[in-house]
Structure 1
Amino acid sequence: MARQKYSGIGGQAILEGIMMKNGEYYACAVRREDGGIAVDKQRYVSLTDRYPLLRLPFVRGIFSFADSMILGMRALNWSAEIYAGGDESATEEEPSKFEAFLEKTFGEKAMKVMMGVIMAFSFLIAIGIFMLLPMFLARLLKRVIASETLIAVLEGVFRILIFICYIKAISRMEDIHRTFMYHGAEHKCINCVEHGLPLTVENVMKSSREHKRCGTSFILIVMMISILFFIVIRPETLLLRAVSRILLMPVIAGVSYEFLRFTGTHDSALVNALSRPGMWMQGLTTREPTPDMAEVAMQAVEAVFDWKDYLRKNFGTVFPEDEASA
């Protein structure tokens, strides 16, 4: 197989489908209940494109993460509407009191407000579970372990173990398991074209479901780099330690993004070795997809990416139509 070459496309698994992004455009493809595939292409100008100052190294990672959250919620919301629309026998449910309050207060912006509330709540829960809980668990060992460096390392180990247990637990849910299969299809599609193969179901299915630019790798990098930060930065009181974990998150995310950006755009023995732990972790969040899932991912790619032109320019691929027009 040809050496991997960066394409610029990235994606995300959504409900019964895939979202793929390339430049200012993204496309969502979702399998309908009738077997068809719904595709929606939209334009999204990221914060880093709108404000050049935000493209500075170690700053851009924070806002790229915010962009991915916003875009991810939009894609998930659209896929949920398509998936729910497939069941014609479903009856419309009465809105909850909270939903009714939002509609009355914010009108047409109610959905955006609700998405913002969900994102903020999810972020706070994530900080509590993956940042503060490991810190408290590690501090319980203070009575038997005198080394602050070892305590910081154990905090990082607890953080990784909690994440693994969390992924293992949610993967038992059928919808999440299928989402992980679509996640695998997303990776396979990108790997297919980035290794110089024409985008066909057969080529996609035989491609790897591990990819260096995956969000799962980013999470592991954040956890590993946080260990280095917290070994050096050690406030005396428990409260200050908790505050430091929260305040340093943007800094750690910025450093982690630069690391992932470098490994994701370079291909060498050293880079591949550095990427390997994150790709091992992807074994938790990806599953082997079915061919029909690969078809969905392919349609999302083709809506925003001219893969034939990419293969011509980067791998010298000649297609039958090229020979016919020669």
Structure 2
Amino acid sequence: MAERKGDLARAFTEDGALKTHVGGQALIEGIMMRGKHNWSVAVREPNGGIYVEEHDLPGPKGGADWLRWPLVRGCRAMVESLVLGYKALEIAALHAFGEEEPDEHARQPRAAGEPVPPPAAPGEPTPRSMVAGEPAPPSIAPVDGPAGDGGSSADSRNEGAGDERPSAGAKSGSAGGGNEGTVPSQPLSTSPSFSWKDDFGRPDTMIDALGAQRALEVVEEPEPRSEKKSFMDEEVEFGKREMAVSMALGLVLGVVLFIAAPAYLTNLVVGEYDSNTLLWNVVDGLLRVGVFVLYLWLIGRMSDIKRMFGYHGAEHKAIHCYEHGLPLTPENARSFPRLHVRCGTAFLIMVMIIAIFVYTVTPINGLIELWGVPDGAPKLLLVILARILLMPVIAGVSYEITVKWAGSRPENPLVKVVLWPGMQMQYLTTNEPDDGQIECAIAAMERVLERERAEEKRAVAGASGRASAAA
């Protein structure tokens, strides 16, 4: 307990002097960092390396100044966070679980003694032996060269292959021979024992002499290799459907767990909504917070979520390190607490607390009387629908209090009181990270800081140019 109090006290008292606006989000084996101009994702890949990807922030442009108004900017921030979080999770899933390309020779099992073909060049047809019972292709190309001129035909095939044909049982090594992975034919024989007069009725001897293949082959185009691409590439469909379904199910689950279920339980405990509105909203809010805490505690027992909470702690440590003006290294970041006063967890708790006040002052009782809504399920459904529709208002108010006011005044005693519940929740949503997780946080943050430094230099150069032109 003493350690927790120490972390909490340090998060309030050791807030750095630089007060950065950079924030982040823990991902699957990675971290997303967001700055003024761009956002970046750093993911630990299965081979141990760190994959980093960055994109510009969308942001309102032109005549969209109203999106920066108080209350409205909170709703916009919530929507943007959901969209960027979805994209960042997609990138993380693509690279955290992406398998390394297997060896070409190990893709298909081969029988003992079967020759192993060399890898085909990109775009080169891949031959395949026809299996028994498979229908023949529409047409088979005849052997090159005029009938009756076996010598010239064989010579032309050898010249096109660029090498001698391998003998039976030898490994095929010619990329242009067109017989890789099949039963190799016998080498071209021009011995005096063969003659058109004596051997015309001996098919095996003729096939060997003409250099033709014994097995019927079908040439088909190889399947394109799957490559890791950005979610911005429209051709990539990896996991998009699954991610969309999971996001939709997550929203439905959130509504059921944190709105519908508490409202239903409150109706059972307190009674109808309009019978005691204040008590109903207080009990509903406390149940909502309790469900949220229980939910975080339960998922925190899962190994994958534990890892993600470790990345959450790494994100806080990296931001602490930068705000204190120290070089971004795992050694420097490791010494800071895993809690941070500007964490999004505090925002979520503030949303639930403010929801109690917003729901209480909303005249839902007037709507019940005006429309004559009967008791039971219809009245409960109206209350639940009103709570869903009021979510943007609650998000806007919470953003102004938590981010704009409390986030810039962490030393204020009243701010400590307001942020205390959210700071306590960070003990559930953060874990002590290892150095590898801190390295991911630093890699993502450095990419954002590099962009901001470049934009600052560009702004200074532009101001200098305008001053020179005016002079």
TM-score by length of 2: 0.58
**How far apart are 1:52 and its partner, in Å?**
2.1
Residue deviations 1:17-52 (CA, integer Å, cap 9, x gap): 111111121111111222211111221223578832
Q: Which residue of 1 aligns with 2:224?
A: none
2:65 is the alignment partner of 1:52 = yes
Considering fraction of residues, name the structure with more helix: 1
2:412 to 269, 285, 292: 269
Is the Cα–Cα contact under 8 Å of residues 26 and 32 in structure 2 kept in the other structure? yes
Structure 2: 5+ residue runs without aligned partners?
1-13, 108-233, 369-378, 454-471
2:269 is the alignment partner of 1:141 = yes
Letter in 2 for 1:200: T
**How far apart are 1:177 and its partner, in Å?**
0.8
2:258 is the alignment partner of 1:130 = yes
2:92 to 63, 72, 79: 79
* Deviation larger for 110-119 or 36-45: 110-119
Assess, with a 3 A threshold, how the Cα gap between structure 1 residues 49 and 14 changes in structure 2: closer, same or farther.
Answer: farther
Assess, with a 3 A threshold, how the Cα gap between structure 1 residues 47 and 69 changes in structure 2: closer, same or farther.
Answer: farther
Q: Which residue of 2 aligns with 1:16?
A: 29
Assess, with a 3 A threshold, how the Cα gap between structure 1 residues 41 and 80 changes in structure 2: closer, same or farther.
Answer: same
Assess, with a 3 A threshold, how the Cα gap between structure 1 residues 50 and 133 changes in structure 2: closer, same or farther.
Answer: farther
1:48, 1:282 → 2: CA distance? 35
Is the Cα–Cα contact under 8 Å of residues 6 and 264 in structure 1 kept in the other structure? no
Q: Which residue of 2 aligns with 1:221?
A: 350
* Deviation larger for 168-177 or 117-126: 117-126
* Deviation larger for 280-289 or 237-246: 237-246
Residue deviations 1:274-299 (CA, integer Å, cap 9, x gap): 22211111111111101111111111
**How far apart are 1:186 and its partner, in Å?**
0.5
2:61, 2:353 → 1: CA distance? 26
2:46, 2:305 → 1: CA distance? 18
1:49, 1:152 → 2: CA distance? 41
1:66, 1:127 → 2: CA distance? 16
Secondary structure at 2:326 match in 1 = coil
Residue deviations 1:173-208 (CA, integer Å, cap 9, x gap): 111110000011001111221233332212211112
1:27 to 40, 43, 62: 40
Q: Which residue of 1 aligns with 2:229?
A: none
Q: Which residue of 2 aligns with 1:239?
A: 381
Structure number with greater CO (CA < 8 Å, separation at least 6) is: 1
Assess, with a 3 A threshold, how the Cα gap between structure 1 residues 74 and 143 changes in structure 2: closer, same or farther.
Answer: closer
2:309, 2:408 → 1: CA distance? 24
TM-score by length of 1: 0.81
1:68 to 81, 86, 89: 81
Larger Rg computed on CA atoms: 2
**How far apart are 1:240 and its partner, in Å?**
2.1
Letter in 2 for 1:83: A
1:292 to 436, 440, 443: 436
1:205, 1:80 → 2: CA distance? 26
**How far apart are 1:308 and its partner, in Å?**
12
Assess, with a 3 A threshold, how the Cα gap between structure 1 residues 114 and 53 changes in structure 2: closer, same or farther.
Answer: farther
2:295 is the alignment partner of 1:151 = no
Q: Which residue of 1 aligns with 2:425?
A: 281
Residue deviations 1:216-242 (CA, integer Å, cap 9, x gap): 111111100011122223434323211
Q: Which residue of 2 aligns with 1:258?
A: 400
**How far apart are 1:119 and its partner, in Å?**
3.2
1:291, 1:228 → 2: CA distance? 43
Is the Cα–Cα contact under 8 Å of residues 49 and 55 in structure 1 kept in the other structure? no
**How far apart are 1:267 and its partner, in Å?**
3.0
1:26, 1:50 → 2: CA distance? 23
Is the Cα–Cα contact under 8 Å of residues 30 and 79 in structure 1 kept in the other structure? yes
1:9, 1:159 → 2: CA distance? 30
Q: Identity over aligned residues, as a percent?
A: 40
Counterparts of residues 101-116 of structure 1 (less than 5 Å)? 108=235, 115-116=243-244
1:133, 1:66 → 2: CA distance? 24
1:190 to 319, 325, 330: 319
1:23, 1:308 → 2: CA distance? 7
Assess, with a 3 A threshold, how the Cα gap between structure 1 residues 2 and 167 changes in structure 2: closer, same or farther.
Answer: closer
Secondary structure at 1:39 match in 2 = strand
**How far apart are 1:81 and its partner, in Å?**
0.9
Assess, with a 3 A threshold, how the Cα gap between structure 1 residues 126 and 89 changes in structure 2: closer, same or farther.
Answer: farther
* Deviation larger for 195-204 or 211-220: 195-204
Is the Cα–Cα contact under 8 Å of residues 47 and 63 in structure 1 kept in the other structure? no
1:84, 1:43 → 2: CA distance? 25
Is the Cα–Cα contact under 8 Å of residues 16 and 320 in structure 2 kept in the other structure? no
Number of paired residues?
A: 294
1:117, 1:223 → 2: CA distance? 26
Assess, with a 3 A threshold, how the Cα gap between structure 1 residues 219 and 198 changes in structure 2: closer, same or farther.
Answer: same
Is the Cα–Cα contact under 8 Å of residues 90 and 240 in structure 2 kept in the other structure? no
Assess, with a 3 A threshold, how the Cα gap between structure 1 residues 2 and 70 changes in structure 2: closer, same or farther.
Answer: closer
**How far apart are 1:150 and its partner, in Å?**
2.0
Structure 1: 5+ residue runs without aligned partners?
92-106, 310-326
